[in-house]
Amino acid sequence: MKLTIIGLTVLLASFITTDSYAESVNNAADTAPSAHNATISEALEQRVIEWRRDLHQHPELSNREFRTSGVVAEHLRSLGLEVTTDIAHTGVVGILRGAHPGPTVALRADMDALPVKEMTDVPFASVATGEYRGREVPVMHACGHDLHVAMLMGAAEYLARKQAELTGNIMFIFQPAEEGAPEGEEGGAELMLKEGLFAIEKPDAVFGIHVWSAGTTGHIGYRKGPLMASSDRFEIRVLGEQTHGSRPWGGIDPIVVASQIINNVQTIVSRQVNITKAPAVVSFGIVEGGVRNNIIPDEVYLEGTIRNFDMGIRSEIFEKLTTTAEMTAAASGARAEVFIDEGYPVTVNNPDLVTRMMPTMERIIGSENLYEADLVTGAEDFSFYALEVPSMFVFLGITPPDQNPLTAPSNHSPYFYADEASLRVGTELLINWALDYPAAR
């Protein structure tokens, strides 16, 4: 079943800012450090935590973030922002226009959850379900997108109350379907751009954060240039000719041909592309064919993934994969039909932007908590924004200091756990990026 907006009216009513809360936030804003060292009040930090817990209890799958987007849109409207909804199905965009002319900075958070059954013991654990591939499944924020949304909501609240001091504009992007649209649908960053996201307001730079269980709470991992791999899916149908297993010469064996294709494809990365330029991976995940031990089938199906950190090499691998499969099959009298489903591009951080924003990160967390991240073979559709404008994406550690982040349950695990102390760090980082960028250009 699709998730519905159950009790949204009641929930949103609870989010309406009370006079006492507004007073506390305004007082905090009046006494806060300058825009070059912005910190949030304890009241706002608690509010971010409460948003996160509520969102965690009510996760929604890709392109089905109806309740989440409703909460976000109501909050942005309450702050007086220009709000656009229903972009890429459930996406929400808020524009905050500063009092002084200047560049536009975009801050992005993704909203969707995963078809995972939560196994943590937190009191706000998810018991939600949703529809995935035609069946009802448990749903969990096992990748931390609930934290992303809560932090960006907090940043929007702080910055809206500083509007009279702001130089330039700030675009808040709440994006659906980062984990991938349901089969037969479009979604995510690519669809937001296709439907005119940057026609609403084209930013001069885009910033994003991903919480990271492999990092200690409050530590930030950054990298200039490629950070996360492209992710592409391929299918190969090996077409032979059926025959009895006792008479293999009576047909064309697609199983043998498929095994030759699997072996030969391994030479693409090891022998045919320049791996000194960027790493790459070609892996097979599905091999299907045959129904009986003594019948050679007429077809074998192969499916796999390509990961890469250079867009030029990515195209080269596509070409070589097709040629290798087709020529290997032809050598045995079979045919190979190759289909490549282009997924997310390489996530590339603009080197100059990273350099200019390093002082901001050092100020927020201290240089001792800032580290250069390794290349990550996982993928992120934040990459589509980076193809359009200079962008920067970082990892925010969320594993408590008394635990080893290298052995902590990873993102997408049913035991995924986030230390909520990281929420303050992430919120303040978003705020200070937006405040510092105009002067750092």
Residue 344 bears catalytic tag: yes
Point out the catalytic residue in the list 344, 385, 428, 437. Answer: 344
Point out the catalytic residue in the list 326, 337, 342, 420. Answer: 420
Residue 342 bears catalytic tag: no
Question: 3-state SS of the chain?
Answer: CCCCCCCHHHHHHHHCCCHHHHHHHHHHHHHCCCHHHCCCCHHHHHHHHHHHHHHHHCCCCCCCCHHHHHHHHHHHHHCCCEEEEEECCCEEEEEEECCEEEEEEEEEEECCCECCCCCCCCCCCCCCEEEECCEEEECECCCCHHHHHHHHHHHHHHHHCCHHHCEEEEEEEEECCCCCCCCCCCCHHHHHHHCCHHHHCCCCEEEEEEEEEEEECCCEEECCEEEECEEEEEEEEEECECEECCCHHHCECHHHHHHHHHHHHHHHHHHHCCCCCCCEEEEEEEEECCCCCCEECCEEEEEEEEEECCHHHHHHHHHHHHHHHHHHHHHCCCEEEEEEEEEECCEEECHHHHHHHHHHHHHHHCHHHEEECCCECCCCCCHHHHCCCCEEEEEEEEECCCCCCCCCCCCCCCCCCCCCCHHHHHHHHHHHHHHHHHHHC
Annotated active-site positions, please? 344, 420
